[in-house]
Amino acid sequence: MASPTKSASARKGSPRKARKPAMLPKSDGDAGVQAYIASLEPWQAAVAQRIDALVVKHVSGLRKAMRWHCPFYGVEGQGWFLAFAAFQRHLKFTFFKGTALRPVPPVGQQKDARSLDVRERDKLDENQLVSWIEQAASIPGWGVATGSGGKKAIKEK
């Protein structure tokens, strides 16, 4: 007879804690983004690499940077449109003007931003991701200010 004192979860072992992604300094360009991706759990790195490749393929005038220890994607003169961060059990891809996208990404309650949470067993809907990426890159993003002369990108250097 099996011992009644051990629960099913105890027999399987508790899930191991995911390593934390690298805390990289603020930087411009692809190098910091790639270093962040390389520091992720293998499944997270695979998802992040795929989405990074989709952004590179579908956005002209792309700008990459590390801000607040997270990869940011933008278009010169239009601001940032996407960032992502790794957590223990998921990746969060945030579209800064997500409420303007159709359909609206499913996660979030901020005024403008909406996100997509991706877990290890999730299957990516690449067609939907490409649609969101293209839509987000085509509209003024976060970091765009309005003044008397119209819209201009805020320079972060």
Does the pTM surpass 0.95? The reply is: no
Query: Given this model, what pLDDT does residue 10 score?
Result: 41
Query: Given this model, what pLDDT does residue 146 score?
Result: 43
Instruction: Give φ, ψ of 120 to 5 degrees.
Output: -55, -40
CATH of 22-140, one of 3.90.1150.200, 1.10.150.530, 3.40.50.720, 3.40.50.2300: 3.90.1150.200
Length of the chain: 157
Please tell me the number of Cα atoms within 13 Å of 96 on its side-chain side.
18
The residues spanned by each domain of the chain are: 22-140
- State the CB neighbour count (10 A cutoff) for residue 133: 23
Query: Given this model, what pLDDT does residue 58 score?
Result: 97
Instruction: Tell me the average pLDDT across 53-67.
Output: 95
| Helices assigned H by DSSP within the chain | 8-12, 30-38, 42-58, 126-137
54 pLDDT band (50/70/90 cuts)? very high
User: Taking 90 as the threshold, does the pLDDT of residue 137 lie above it?
Assistant: yes
